[in-house]
Amino acid sequence: MELEEARKRLLAERAELMGSLGYTEESGQQDREAETADGPQDLADGAPSLTAEYEDDSIAETLRGRLAQVERALRRVDDGTWGRSVRSGVPIPAERLEADPSAELTVEEAAE
């Protein structure tokens, strides 16, 4: 994959992640507001809203992690180190980069 193609794909993924993260965080905030607006409840009554809140928080955490990985990849594109393992500096195979342009390690290193 060419450097500019990688940049284009990473920027597109970053935009998608940021949109998803914004939606998820907003949904989590709505869950929290609904929970407090309903006032005191039986513990069983609050379970669905708490479950939704925890799910939103978990999804948001995953999205933040992926977004951070994409941001690091974009920095590597800018500084000329993209396509090499951040651990060993060896080239990451083209097939791996095609599948995930934000890959930071070779398959073998990731498996360790």
Rounded to two decimals, the pTM is 0.80
- CA nearest to 59, candidates 28, 101, 14, 35: 28
Backbone angles phi, psi at 82, to 5 degrees: -60, 140
Place of tokens 């993209």: 82
| pLDDT tens digits for range 54-74 | 888 899 999 999 999 999 999
Question: What tokens were used for 73?
Answer: 């990849």
Supply the mean pLDDT for the chain: 88
Q: Collect all residues with Cβ–Cβ distance below 8 Å to 106 and sequence separation of at least 6.
A: 85, 88, 90, 92, 93, 96
- CA nearest to 78, candidates 12, 1, 6: 6
